Amino acid sequence: MELIDARHITKVFTVGTDWLGRPKKVLAAVQDMSLVIHQGETVGLVGESGCGKSTFARTVLGLYGKTGGTVLYKGRDTRDLAAGELYRRQVQMIFQDPYSSLDPRMTVEEIISEPLRNYHLCADGRERRKRVAGLLNQVDLRAEAAQRYPHEFSGGQRQRVGIARALALEPECIFCDEPISALDVSVQVQIVNMLRRLQQELGLSYLFIAHDLTMVHHMSRRIGVMYLGRLVELGPGSEVFCRPLHPYTQLLIASVPRPDPADPGAPDAAGEVPSPLELPAGCVFHPRCPYANQRCRTETPVLRQVGADRFAACHQVQGGDAL
């Protein structure tokens, strides 16, 4: 069942204004991107810093206003008041930084119980405290942690508090915006294993954003690859990781440390990532692509189906219909 269907999402920011108040430059952070999340599945989203992963997630969630596109929740447009209200409760986010995402002036109990109060889900304070204790237990924290402040916890413990807050409204889907990037490696494994356990116990769906391709492969049923605001490849996690189609995906896979130093991996990409304020014509990856030709320099590729459940936006990959 399709839980979230994000269609042709575009998010544009203006950078600076002239003396008449007109924008000097436009930054297209997300460009015409579509993605479906099914009930109970994890979709991974990877790409270099600044490619638009977090902006896409925040735009789909509604934290940023859309420049264009539509978000459907269980087939209903979230612009509909009733559907939008349900969507705001059923789709939550775990933020990247466990230090800045928690109010230092509030106790853990106040942080986790805030959404419970806002949605009037508990009859009184006693019921809220019981619910908070249960949520802390779900994320492997003791009930007495409720009376402490965020600064009294380690980074991993703070992220557990953030996860408990995301679980408070009993959502169906959670957007995990690089939830492990600020944590030690050993703690990352603990958090990922806990997220997998919670998914099995609660039937959750995840949009899992991360830089670590190995961890995304471990977590995700499907993986999408972004480059400069566009989705350039999408497919089953094992196939994207083991048989990447797009040259940029090949570059990302080649960057993963390999046990065999004699394995050359994919061809190296030349140059640096272009400025998102001055995107090249045609395929935005062509200045770095070892396979680029004249068509790549003038014509922007669209995401097309190139096999069973495989999609790629590349002129060098033969495909059929556009997504």
Under the phi-then-psi rule, with left for phi > 0, alpha for psi from -120 to 50, and beta for the rest, what region is 84? alpha
Give me the CATH number covering residue 101: 3.40.50.300
Tell me whether residue 174 is in a domain.
yes
Q: What is the pLDDT of residues 204-261, one digit of tens each?
A: 999 999 887 888 988 999 999 999 999 999 999 999 999 999 999 999 888 776 655 5
Tell me whether residue 302 is in a domain.
no
Q: What is the pLDDT of residue 38?
A: 97
Tell me whether residue 45 is in a domain.
yes
322: DSSP letter = B
Q: What is the pLDDT of residue 275?
A: 83
Give the pairing of strands 68-73 and 2-17: antiparallel
Which residue range forms the structural domain that includes residue 79? 2-220
Tell me whether residue 317 is in a domain.
no
Q: Flag residues of the chain having pLDDT under 70.
A: 257-271, 318-323
Q: What is the pLDDT of residue 211?
A: 82
Q: How far apart are CA 198 and CA 301, in angstroms?
A: 38
H or E element that contains 187: helix 185-202
What are residue 25's DSSP bridge partners?
15
Tell me whether residue 304 is in a domain.
no
116: DSSP letter = H
Q: What is the pLDDT of residue 296?
A: 94
**Non-local CB neighbours of 263 within 8 Å, separated by 6+ positions:** none
Q: What is the pLDDT of residue 1?
A: 87
- For the record, the structure tokens of 117 come out as 């109060």
Tell me whether residue 297 is in a domain.
no
What is the distance, to the nearest Å, from the Cα of residue 235 to the centroid of all Cα atoms in its chain?
16
Domains of the chain: total: 1
Q: 181-186 — which CB contacts under 8 Å span 24+ positions?
A: 181/96, 181/210, 181/211, 181/212, 182/96, 182/97, 182/98, 182/99, 182/155, 183/98, 183/155, 183/156, 183/159, 184/155, 184/156
pTM of the model: 0.91
Q: What is the pLDDT of residue 68?
A: 96
- For the record, the structure tokens of 302 come out as 């669209």
Give the pairing of strands 173-177 and 205-209: parallel
- For the record, the structure tokens of 293 come out as 């030709």
Tell me whether residue 12 is in a domain.
yes
Tell me whether residue 280 is in a domain.
no
